[in-house]
């Protein structure tokens, strides 16, 4: 194009950029745009907006805004499309406050009139941050302002409601849109099918599929992938295979996502070798190239089967396949080593493979795997020193990390350290959850501090955290071990009243007690309670 004389028009360059965007080749588009600027090829607001969009997709909203400044400086007028792009960029960069500010200023200074895309973008951003009710309010507001929601707006809201597990509300919106004459598309249905699959509502799924059929909306590869994944996760591997067979019959081509979902299904059943066969035969035969997620599934499968060496073989095979491991890959193998008691290899793997890899961002999962693994192997000092390493690497520990640490410390004879960590959680802006409370209660019980345990049990509910079945069972066993059978009985009644029941471990603890103290009246009363 650059060598053509006369030069192709700005339209044709815009089309080329758009094609690259469609293929998600954002950095290629950006370098082409730069090339155009250097060679003084005319640009306009359309090509400029496309470049701004590319920067946003590359997570460089800062560059996007400096290009916006350049755009205005060169005398072009950013329009509603330009600003919608920037609003989406800010939201996707997790900066909703700036997005909000941009939106209000655009309206205040009458720079643009928000359109249906503006509202849809913001509704999506709100929903993805779990502000569903605000999103619905905005949804009703735009309608009132004369900006009619369209298929994409409804699909966005439906998808978000499904992800918040409000599937029936989402189905209500489907009904509402069709009544208004706004036709759902395959994306609308895919979101709903996913939402229903999450609840194993197979009958409703089939009803939606036949509804699609009546409306002449063909299921896409996406649709089938949702089904393969859902069946695989439920262990219904034959159904998953049937879906793939069906989609091929209908002329759809399964892709890497389809087969990865199938492989995950096999791995969850422990049939990792079958998953490997899918990769080595079916995918190869069909010319489908596996990606890192495909390998992660296999690596995870082998680790869960305690075949860590096979997992490491696959890990070492990655560069040959042109793939780079992700933090998920590393975390999986690290956990595999600990799971099989190979803590020396785990620590070498962490030191040599993970710490030295500059491209890797260690996360809270890494931290909790390490802390848990070290504590379970009685390396408390090392665990604490790793914790410090992670902190100085800039990691912000979440409540799960503290839970792991509290549990590990208390199980290795450091109850007071665990207690002080627990008590200082509010100072770190963290609230204990039901697991954290339960671990601390267990710690107190283990050291015979039943009063502290009971006090905390009462306190958690007062703090708005309801005990669950694990909490009750933990405290009841604590009373058993400290010969407080009457207290155990009272708590057992309370637990049953709340719809929980004694678990296997509590039951066997009681049976052991009964065996050794056949005539203890308190225990006999407990047995009566327990057996009825």
Stretch that binds DNA, among 112-120, 167-175, 268-276, 473-481 (CB under 7 A): 112-120
| Distance separating alpha carbons of residues 468 and 473, to the nearest angstrom | 9
Judged by CB under 7 A, which of 106, 191, 310, 333 binds DNA? 191
CB of 109 to DNA, least distance (A): 17
Both tokens of 86, joined, read 């920037």
Judged by CB under 7 A, which of 30, 126, 153, 237 binds DNA? 153
User: Does residue 329 bind DNA (CB under 7 A)?
Assistant: no
Both tokens of 215, joined, read 């409306």
CB of 168 to DNA, least distance (A): 18
- Runs of H (alpha helix) within 93-236: 96-108, 116-128, 132-144, 151-163, 167-179, 186-198, 202-214, 221-233
Query: Segment 52-71, which members bind DNA (CB under 7 A)?
Result: 53
CB of 152 to DNA, least distance (A): 3
Judged by CB under 7 A, which of 225, 366, 368, 506 binds DNA? 225
User: Does residue 332 bind DNA (CB under 7 A)?
Assistant: no
| Distance separating alpha carbons of residues 417 and 413, to the nearest angstrom | 9
Residue number, 49 or 436, with CB nearest to DNA:
49
Give the CA radius of gyration of the chain.
29
Angle between helices 221-233 and 256-268 (to 10 degrees): 10
Contact between 14 and 45 under an 8 Å Cβ cutoff? The reply is: no
User: Does residue 377 bind DNA (CB under 7 A)?
Assistant: no
Both tokens of 397, joined, read 């520990």
Which positions from 252 to 291 touch DNA by CB under 7 A, shown as an x/- string? ---xxxx-xx--x--------------------------x
| Distance separating alpha carbons of residues 225 and 194, to the nearest angstrom | 10
Burial 329-349 (b: 16+ CB within 10 A, else e): bbbbbbbbbbbeebbebbbeb
Residue in this structure with the two tokens 């056949």, named with its chain if needed = 518
Residue number, 93 or 291, with CB nearest to DNA:
291
User: Does residue 248 bind DNA (CB under 7 A)?
Assistant: no
Contact between 331 and 369 under an 8 Å Cβ cutoff? The reply is: yes
- How many residues appear in the chain? 532
User: Does residue 244 bind DNA (CB under 7 A)?
Assistant: no
Cα separations (Å) of 465 from 150, 159, 427, 431, 459?
41, 30, 18, 10, 9
User: Does residue 294 bind DNA (CB under 7 A)?
Assistant: yes
Both tokens of 450, joined, read 């039943």
CB of 151 to DNA, least distance (A): 6
Read off the DSSP letter of residue 319. Answer: G
Residue number, 231 or 402, with CB nearest to DNA:
231
CB of 267 to DNA, least distance (A): 11
| Distance separating alpha carbons of residues 30 and 190, to the nearest angstrom | 32
Query: Segment 76-105, which members bind DNA (CB under 7 A)?
Result: 78-82, 84-85, 88
User: Does residue 454 bind DNA (CB under 7 A)?
Assistant: no
* Binding region for DNA (CB under 7 A): 10-11, 14-15, 17-18, 21, 44-47, 49-50, 53, 78-82, 84-85, 88, 115-118, 120-121, 124, 150-153, 155-156, 159, 163, 185-188, 190-191, 194, 220-223, 225-226, 229, 255-258, 260-261, 264, 291, 293-294
């Amino acid at each position: 194009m650059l060598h053509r004389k006369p030069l192709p028009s700005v339209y044709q360059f815009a089309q080329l950029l758009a094609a690259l965007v469609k293929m998600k080749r954002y950095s290629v588009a950006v370098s082409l745009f730069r090339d155009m600027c250097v060679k003084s090829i005319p640009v306009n607001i359309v090509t400029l907006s496309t470049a701004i969009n590319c920067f946003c997709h590359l997570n460089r909203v800062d560059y996007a805004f400096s290009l916006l400044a350049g755009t205005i400086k060169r005398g072009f007028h950013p329009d509603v499309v330009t600003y919608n792009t920037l609003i989406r960029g800010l939201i996707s960069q997790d900066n909703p406050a700036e997005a909000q500010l941009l939106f209000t200023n655009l309206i205040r200074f009458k720079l643009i009139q928000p359109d249906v895309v503006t509202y849809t973008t913001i509704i999506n951003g709100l929903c993805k941050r779990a502000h569903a009710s605000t999103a619905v309010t905005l949804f009703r507001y735009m309608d009132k302002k004369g900006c009619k929601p369209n298929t994409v707006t409804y699909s966005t809201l439906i998808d978000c409601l499904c992800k918040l597990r409000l599937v029936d509300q989402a189905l209500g919106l489907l009904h509402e849109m069709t009544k208004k004459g706004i036709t759902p598309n395959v994306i609308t249905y895919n979101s709903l099918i996913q939402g229903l699959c999450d609840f194993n509502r197979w009958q409703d799924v089939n009803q939606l599929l036949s509804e699609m059929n009546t409306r002449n909306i063909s299921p896409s590869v996406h649709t089938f992938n949702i089904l393969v994944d859902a069946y695989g996760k439920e262990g219904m591997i034959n159904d998953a295979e049937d879906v793939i067979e069906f989609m091929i019959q209908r002329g759809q081509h399964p892709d890497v996502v389809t087969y990865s979902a199938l492989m995950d299904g096999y791995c969850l059943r422990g049939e990792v070798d079958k998953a490997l066969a899918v990769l080595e035969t079916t995918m190869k035969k069909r010319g489908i190239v596996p990606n890192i997620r495909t390998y992660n599934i296999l690596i995870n499968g082998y680790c869960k089967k305690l075949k860590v060496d096979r997992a490491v073989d696959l890990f070492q095979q990655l560069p040959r396949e042109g793939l780079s491991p992700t933090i998920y890959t590393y975390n999986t193998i690290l956990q595999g080593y600990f799971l099989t008691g190979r803590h020396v290899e785990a620590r070498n793997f962490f030191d040599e493979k993970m710490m030295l890899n500059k491209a890797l961002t260690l996360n809270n999962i890494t931290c909790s795997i390490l802390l848990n693994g070290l504590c379970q192997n009685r390396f408390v000092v090392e665990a604490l020193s790793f914790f410090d390493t992670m902190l100085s690497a800039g990691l912000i520990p979440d409540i799960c990390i503290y839970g792991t640490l509290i549990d590990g410390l208390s199980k290795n004879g450091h109850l007071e350290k665990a207690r002080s960590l627990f008590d200082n959680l509010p100072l770190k802006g963290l609230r204990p959850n039901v697991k954290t409370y339960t671990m601390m209660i267990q710690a107190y019980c283990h050291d015979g501090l039943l009063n502290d345990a009971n006090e905390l049990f009462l306190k958690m509910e007062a703090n708005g955290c309801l005990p669950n079945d694990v909490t009750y069972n933990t405290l009841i066993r604590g009373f058993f071990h400290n010969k407080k059978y009457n207290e155990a009985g009272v708590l057992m009644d309370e637990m049953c009243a709340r719809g929980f029941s004694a678990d296997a471990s509590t039951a066997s603890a009681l049976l052991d007690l009964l065996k050794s103290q056949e005539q203890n009246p308190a225990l006999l009363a407990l047995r009566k309670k327990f057996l009825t």
